[in-house]
Amino acid sequence: MMMRSVCLAAGFALAACGGPGRAATAESAGGEAGSGHKAVAVNTSGRSFAEYGTRLGKIPVLEYHVVGDSTRGQFIISREKFQHDLELLYERGYRPITVAQLVDKDFSDVPPGMSPVVFTFDDASPEQFSYVEQNGQLAIDPKTVIGMWVAFNQKHPDWKNRATFCVLSGAQAGHNFFGDNPKWRGQKREWRFQKIKWLADNGFEVCNHTLWHAQLNKYPDNVVQEQIARGQLAIDSAVPGYKVRTFALPLGAWPKNRPLAWRGSWTDPKSGKTTSYANETVLEVSGGPAKSPFDPAFDKTKVTRTIISGNALEQMLDHLDKSKARFVWDGK
Ligand SMILES: [Zn+2]
């Protein structure tokens, strides 16, 4: 369990960390997904990705935080590093799916012979999703995760809008649905719900990460439930009726009463209204690639992740290939 001294409300604790690594990559012919042509799923030496595993293999679940101007520590990586990760995964035959798709065994967005990868983005920073005003119209800032993702999708239509955003709706320092004040990358408070709705409308999954990132093991049961219920309520305000299925533990800390991470309820003392939540999957902050949902040992109620900084991504992909432990979709 990671218990690092990082706290969003107070800003990030920064640790020394190397820059993005550059590992040799296998290149695929790429770009032909959806054609039903299995021959696309090979690298430049003509080897099939299926040599590296089967559908019982493991699936990388990547955990990102801030993607900004430069790499600083484990929780802030540069846009250059993020772009590198997109290209690396694309070339190595990975295509994105959401946590909900993983749990549902829904690999319809992964061409046979290729592998799924799950991107998760925590903490709803404006670096992940900002708008800019252009002639009275709102446009997605290309220098944000969403801006880069959309551009990558336009270049590679077989890389779809599939990622899971674990959001905060009331944290400080701009971590309130991607920024609630012009001092955070010029973000206006009234754009918050629009961003959450855009994600839901465009193929992404919205995941609850509590109200303001409370470290849940430090609080009594009623506060734990308030944090999770109010996070869900805020998402529902942005996208009425949205079914939140995934919940990410702030700092990876389980509540003392662990079942409350999945189910609970909270009554608003002002209105007397009770909100219940039922999270299907709880995301941890570490633990390495996830088991295949076809593996009898797969537990959909909690899924492990890997924080992506330094060479963590390259090391994980290399290890999966070398040990032939990679999930490769067989299309069946
Ligand atoms: Zn977090």
Distance 299 CA to ligand 1 centre (A): 22
Q: How confident is the model at residue 45 (pLDDT cuts 50, 70, 90)?
A: low
Residue 291 lies in a domain: yes
pLDDT value of position 172: 85
Three-state DSSP string of the chain = CCCCCCCCCCCCCCCCCCCCCCCCCCCECCCCCCCCCHHHCEECCCCEHHHHEECCCEECEEEECEEECCCECCCEEEHHHHHHHHHHHHHCCEEEECHHHHHCCCCCCCCCCCEEEEEEEECCCCCCCCEEEECCEEEECCCCHHHHHHHHHHHCCCCCCCCEEEECCCCCCCCCCCCCCCCCCCCCHHHHHHHHHHHHHCCCEEEECCCCCCCHHHCCHHHHHHHHHHHHHHHHHHCCCCCCCEEECHHHCCCCCHHHHCEEEEECCCCCCEEEEECCEEEEEEECCECCCCCCCCCCCEEEEEECCCCHHHHHHHHHHHCCCEECCCCC
Q: How confident is the model at residue 46 (pLDDT cuts 50, 70, 90)?
A: low
Residue 73 lies in a domain: yes
Distance 210 CA to ligand 1 centre (A): 9
Distance 111 CA to ligand 1 centre (A): 32
Distance 122 CA to ligand 1 centre (A): 5
Distance 311 CA to ligand 1 centre (A): 21
Distance 209 CA to ligand 1 centre (A): 7
Instruction: Of 158, 149, 81, give the one whose Cα is nearest residue 116.
Output: 158
pLDDT value of position 89: 98
Mean of pLDDT over the chain: 88
Residue 178 lies in a domain: yes
Which amino acid type is present at position 171? A
Residue 261 lies in a domain: yes
Q: How confident is the model at residue 143 (pLDDT cuts 50, 70, 90)?
A: very high
Distance 124 CA to ligand 1 centre (A): 9
Q: How confident is the model at residue 5 (pLDDT cuts 50, 70, 90)?
A: very low
Distance 236 CA to ligand 1 centre (A): 20
Residue 144 lies in a domain: yes
Distance 168 CA to ligand 1 centre (A): 8
121 strand-pairing partners: 64, 165
Question: Which CATH number fits the domain that encloses residue 93?
Answer: 3.20.20.370
Distance 43 CA to ligand 1 centre (A): 36
pLDDT above 90 (res 304): yes
Residue 35 lies in a domain: no
pLDDT above 70 (res 286): yes
Distance 323 CA to ligand 1 centre (A): 31
pLDDT value of position 74: 84
Distance 318 CA to ligand 1 centre (A): 27
Distance 246 CA to ligand 1 centre (A): 14
pLDDT value of position 280: 98
pLDDT above 50 (res 27): no
Tens digits of per-residue pLDDT, 190-245? 999 999 999 999 999 999 999 999 999 999 999 999 999 999 999 999 999 999 99
Distance 247 CA to ligand 1 centre (A): 11
Distance 64 CA to ligand 1 centre (A): 9
Distance 135 CA to ligand 1 centre (A): 35
Distance 283 CA to ligand 1 centre (A): 11
Residue 308 lies in a domain: yes
Residue 16 lies in a domain: no
pLDDT value of position 39: 43
Percent of the chain with pLDDT over 90: 80
Tens digits of per-residue pLDDT, 232-276? 999 999 999 999 999 999 999 999 999 999 999 999 999 999 999
Domain count, the chain: 1
pLDDT above 50 (res 154): yes
- Comparing 7-16, 170-179, 200-209, the range with the smallest average pLDDT is 7-16
User: Cα(57)–Cα(325) distance, rounded to whole angstroms?
Assistant: 5
Tens digits of per-residue pLDDT, 73-128? 889 999 999 999 999 999 999 999 999 999 999 999 999 999 999 999 999 999 99
Mean pLDDT within 274-285:
97
Q: How confident is the model at residue 41 (pLDDT cuts 50, 70, 90)?
A: low
Domain, as residue range, for 236: 59-327
